[in-house]
A and B are shown apart, each in its own frame.
Chain A
Amino acid sequence: MCEQTKKVQSIIHKYDKAKGNLLSILLDIQEASGRNYVSQEHADIVACELGIPLSKVHDVLTFYAMFSTKPRGKHVIEICKSAPCYITKADAVVTMFEEALKINIGDTTQDNQFTLLYTSCVGACDIGPVAKIGDKIYGDLTKEKIQSIVVSYREVTECPK
C-alpha cells in the first residue's frame, strides 16, 4: 500500500470510520494530499471504508466550496469578494496578487506552488480586503505586504527544514 493510501486509511480510522465525520475526513485527506484536493481514488477509498456510495461522497466534495476534486497549488490563496471586502477594493488586491504571482485569478502557478481563487466571506470584514492562505487570514493589504507574503510562502517551500 503506498504512503498516500496509508495516510488516507489512518485518517479514516482516526475518525472512527463514522459516516457523520465525512466532512472532517475529506478535509484532512485534502490537507494531507499536498495539492489541496481529494483525488477520485481517495474518494473511492473513503466511500468503500465508510460504506457510502461514491455518488454521495462526490456530492459532498462538489457541494462544499473548500473541497477540490482537481489538484491545486501547495498554497491556495483565496481573496474574499463578498460585499464588505468588495467595497474596500478587493479587486485591487486581486490585481496585486495576479502581478506578484504572474497568473490570473482561477489559475495555478507553473511550479504548482500557488493557486489564486475567489472565496466568499471568511469572517474578517473588519480588516478587509482580505486574503486567506490555509488557516491564516491577511488583512489591510498593500502591494508591499502582498509581495512579502508571497515571498514568505515561497521561502518556506524552497528551504526544507
Chain B
Amino acid sequence: MHHTTDPNLMVNLKINGIPVTVPGGTLILDAAKKVGINIPTLCYHPDLKVRATCRICLVEFKGQKKLRTACSNEVWEGAEIITNSKIVRDTRRTVLELLLAEHKPDCLQCVRNTKCELQRLAKELSVEETSFISAGHSFEIEDQHPAIVRDPNKCIKCGRCVEVCQDVQQVSAINTAHRSAEFEIGTPYHQKLDQTTCVSCGQCIAVCPVGALYEKDDTGKVQTALDNPGIHVVVQIEPAIRVALAKEFDIMPGNITPGKMVTVLRRLGFNKVFDTRFMTDITSREAAYELFDRLCNNGVLPMLTSHCAGWINFMEKTYPEILNHLSTCKSPQQMFGAIAKTFYAEQSGISPEKIFVVSIMPCVAKKYEGARTEMSASGQRDVDAVLTTKELVKMIKHGYLDLAKLEESEFDDPLGISEDDMVICGSSGGVMEGAVRTVYTELTGYDLEQFDFEAIPDLEGAKEADINIAGQVLKVAIVDGLKNARVLMDQIKQGSSKYHMIEVMCCPIGCSNNVRQPFGTTAEIEAPIYQGHKSPAVLTLYGKFLGNPLGPKSQELLHTNYIPQYRK
C-alpha cells in the first residue's frame, strides 16, 4: 500500500463510495469529516499524540479483513474506505460493550453525567447494556488531594491523561503500569498525588473523557457558608471566565457580560462581588517594586513570576535549587484573601472569623494554592474556598437562574475603596506587563508605549521582548507550558539566561487567569494600555493600609516563601 505524507500533493480517495480530495498526510478521520461523516472516537484527542488504543474509530479498507483505526491512518491515493459496513458497526458495538463491562455504571451519581464521552457514544450507538461480565473490581477513589479526585473504577484506559502529563506538560506524575488485566493508569506505587511530581495543573482533568478524573467539589462548603446568615461571604471573580461560562450554558460569550456575572453571584447569595483585576493591579505593583529592587541591588535575576499556582508547584518539586528566582509575591487570589481578612474586615467592621472568602477561577491548581497551610497571613486561612467555572455552573443550575434574563450589575467597589476609573485600570497584559510598565514609569517618569513580543526561536509557546528603559535594555520573556518552561529554567541553572524577568504559565495555551486579551478587546476595539500603577484604588490601598510596596505590611500579607516539596 502506498502512503504519501507530502501535504503539497492532493490525494483522491473514496469514503463510502463518495469521492474526496484532501492534502497528503490527512488522517482518514479528518477526510471523512469533509464529506459529513463524523467517525466516532474515544481515545483520540486533537491536541495529543495518537494512541489508537480504544479501537472505536475502526473503519474498513476495502478488501482487507482487519479493520483499521481512522485516527492513526493517513489517506492514500485510490483508497476505498468504508465507515459503516456491518462488520464495522458490529465490531464497534462489541468494543463499546467491552469497555462498559469494566466501567462503573453509576451515571446518575457521576460528575460527568450528560457530559461523558462514553455515555454519549453509548447513546449514539443505542447500546443500553453490555452482554459481558465485569471482573467486579472495586478500586479506592483518591480524594484527599485538595484539587484533583481520581476514580480508577471509571477509567477506560484511553491514556489521554498520560499523554498530557508525560508528553505535553512533561510532569510525568501519572503513567501506565502493569499489563494485561492489571493494566492501569495511575501514580507509581499508588502514591498519593501529593507525593508525586503532580503540579495540580488539572490538564489531566481537562482531557479525561469520563469521570475518572475530576476537580474536588467545594460547592457544598460554599453553599453552607452562603446559607449561614452570620457569615459574610465575599467572592472575587475574573471577568474573562465568562467565555468558559458561556460555553457551559451554550450562549454566545458576548451575551454574558461581566455585569450579568455580578448579578448571578449576588442572586446566589454572595454578600460582595469583587473584580479580580483590582488585585492583579496590586500584584503587578508589588512585583514591579520587587523587580526594581533586584535590578538596582544585584538581586537574583531573572525574576520569575509567581501567580500561576501550577507553576509554583512545579518549581518547588522540579527546580528546588532555583526557587530564589521566584518572585515572593503571592497570586492575586491569595493577596485578595489576605487583604479581605485584614483591611476589608477593618473597613467594613466585620470580624475576620465571620468573613468567608471565595475565589472563582478557571483552574484547579488554584484550589491547591488556596489550601496551602502557609497561606494564612491574616491569622486564619486567607482563601476559604476556590470554585472552578464548572462548580459555578453547578450552583447557577441549582439556583435555576436564567442567565439571559438577568439584569446588569456593577462590581462592588474594590474592597471598599471608591473606584471611578475602573476601565482604564483593566489588566491587559498580565502581571509581568503590569510590573514592567510600573518599573518604566518609576525610572523614567513616562508611560511605556505599546511594545511587541517576538517568538523565541526553536522554543514553542514562548516569546520575548526587549524594553529600552533610559538607555538600558530590560529583557523579558513569557512562556506557556511546563515543557517549554523547562528550557528556560535549565538555562537559569546553567547560568546562561539572558532575561531579567520571565513570566510562566503552566498550561500550554495559557489561562484566562492571566488575561492577554483584555476585557472588551475585539478586532474593532483596541485594548487600552495598562495603567494599573495609576489606579486611584490601588494608590488608596497603599496610602491607607499597606504603606509602601515591599514594605513591612506588604511583606507580611502579600508575600510568601517557597519550600522544596519533593526531593529525588
B156-196 residues with Cβ-Cβ distance < 8 A to A are 166, 172-179, 182, 187-189, 196
* Cross-chain contact B189 with A69 (CB below 8 angstroms): yes
CA distance A19 to B166 in the complex (A): 16
Q: Is the CB of B173 within 8 A of A55?
A: yes
Interface residues of A (CB under 8 A from B): 40, 43-44, 47-48, 53-59, 62-63, 69
Query: Which residues of the other chain, A, contact B166 by a CB distance below 8 angstroms?
Result: 53, 55-56
Q: What are 5 A-B interface contacts by the 8 Å CB criterion?
A: A55-B174, A55-B196, A58-B175, A62-B182, A63-B178
B180-215 interface code vs A (CB 8 A; 1 in, 0 out): 001000011100000011000000000000000000
Interface pairs A-B: 8 shortest CB-CB: A53-B172, A58-B188, A55-B175, A48-B568, A62-B177, A62-B178, A55-B188, A55-B172
Is B189 touching A47 in the complex (CB atoms < 8 A)?
no
When the two chains form their complex, are residues A55 and B187 in contact, meaning their CB atoms are under 8 A apart?
A: yes
Interface residues, chain B, with chain A CB atoms under 8 Å away: 166, 172-179, 182, 187-189, 196-197, 568
For residue A62, give the distance in angstroms from its CB to the closest CB of chain B: 5
Give Cα A82 to B177, complex, Å. 24
Known A55-B196, A56-B166; 11 more pairs at CB < 8 Å: A44-B568, A47-B568, A55-B166, A55-B188, A56-B172, A57-B188, A58-B175, A58-B177, A58-B188, A62-B182, A63-B179
Which residues of B lie under 8 Å from residue A47 when comparing CB positions? Answer: 568
Indicate if the CB atoms of A53 and B179 lie closer than 8 Å.
no
Interface contact B188-A54, CB-CB below 8 Å: yes
Q: What is the CB-to-nearest-CB distance from B62 to chain A, in angstroms, rounded to a whole number?
A: 37
Shortest A31–chain B CB gap in Å is 21
Closest Cβ of chain A to B487, distance in Å, is 15
A59-B568 contact in complex given A40-B189, A53-B197, A69-B189, C-beta closer than 8 Å: no
Considering the complex, give the chain B residue whose CB is closest to the CB of A53: B172
Q: Given A44-B568, A47-B568, A48-B568, are A59 and B176 also a contact pair (CB < 8 Å)?
A: yes
The CA of A40 and the CA of B197, in the complex, are separated in Å by 15
| B185 CB → nearest A CB, Å | 10
Given that A40-B189, A69-B189 are known contacts, is A56 also in contact with B175, CB under 8 Å in the complex?
Answer: yes
A53 to B171, CA, bound (A): 8
**Residues in chain A near residue B176, CB distance under 8 A:** 59
Which A residues lie within 8 Å of B568 (CB)?
Answer: 44, 47-48
Contact (A63, B177) CB under 8 Å given A47-B568, A55-B188, A69-B189: yes
